Amino acid sequence: MSRHILRHLATVDPVLGGVIRAAGPYRNAPEAGCEPFQILAQAIAHQQLNGTAANTILARLVASVGQGSFPTPQQVLAAPAAQLRAAGFSFAKVAALKDLAAKALAAVVPDRATLEQLDDAAIIERLTEVRGVGRWTVEMLLMFHLGRPDVLPVDDFGVRAGFRAAYGLRKLPHPKALAAWGERWKPHRSAAAWYLWRALELERAGTLPAPAERVRLPRIAKRRRAKPRKGHRTGKLRGAGASSARPRRSGARTRARRRRGAPPRAPASKK
């Protein structure tokens, strides 16, 4: 990465500049060669699993469905669900794989050459149409496979935790607040995200520098709960129902009459 990019980040954000100096040069070589279908299929396999388990499932997929090569969309669509289940995919992941294959054949998920001609927003919009593929998955594709320079995955736990560590915060930043703060990093937010991941590693190693200045994130307005309408039940008795539920104070009133010298009331006659 050219020095002027790191100089820009350090100038607009002294705290991030300290992380850059501690972490060293930016190292992110995009992975070349894989088609979007394969990248997303691998991402689906890795969801909620550790790397070893996911790679084992993918190896079974290659052996059984792809006959030794990564399967094509046509092969995935033709494969019985039981065959995919036997490889280790859950019912939800089988449905996601089938949907991915169908959308690849329909060109909703294009080939790599076509994908590279689209801007980031268009890629996110198209690929998140696939069942089980969210914005974070597409952002990882943009950063690590297409080498896009201005991606900030604000929902990523590592990015948020790295920001908390680097800036000396007590809790994780809200994604919207992190997005607002990250506006100053444009057009190099991918590099900023990479250094936030490094900040978490530096913290664990005990070599993270103290923040150069104290920062205050933008406040995110919280949604207020709608107030109950008048007369709506809120757990308290209101109106006529409340008066009828009050305890009777006949004993206190009788004692007050006696102190005033008034004769006690005659009991009501029964008819």
pLDDT tens digits along 186-216: 999 999 999 999 999 999 999 999 998 888 8
Q: Does residue 130 surpass a pLDDT of 60?
A: yes
Least confident of 85-94, 146-155, 193-202, 207-216: 207-216
Nearest CA-CA partner of 76 in 108, 38, 43, 130: 38
What number is the average pLDDT over the span 45-63?
A: 95
For domain 36-144, give the CATH number: 1.10.340.30
Least confident of 133-137, 196-200, 216-220, 241-245: 241-245
Q: Does residue 14 surpass a pLDDT of 90?
A: yes
pLDDT given at position 68: 95
Match domain 3-28+151-205 to its CATH number in 1.20.930.40, 3.90.1150.10, 2.60.120.10, 1.10.1670.40. 1.10.1670.40
> Any catalytic annotation for residue 156?
yes
89-120 in b/e form (b: 16+ CB < 10 A) is: beeebbbbbbbbbbbbeeeebbebeebeeeee
- The overall average pLDDT reported for the chain is 87
Which residue among 99, 111, 150, 156 is the active-site one? Answer: 156
Region(s) of the chain under CATH 1.10.1670.40: 3-28+151-205
pLDDT band at 79 (very low <50, low <70, confident <90, very high): very high
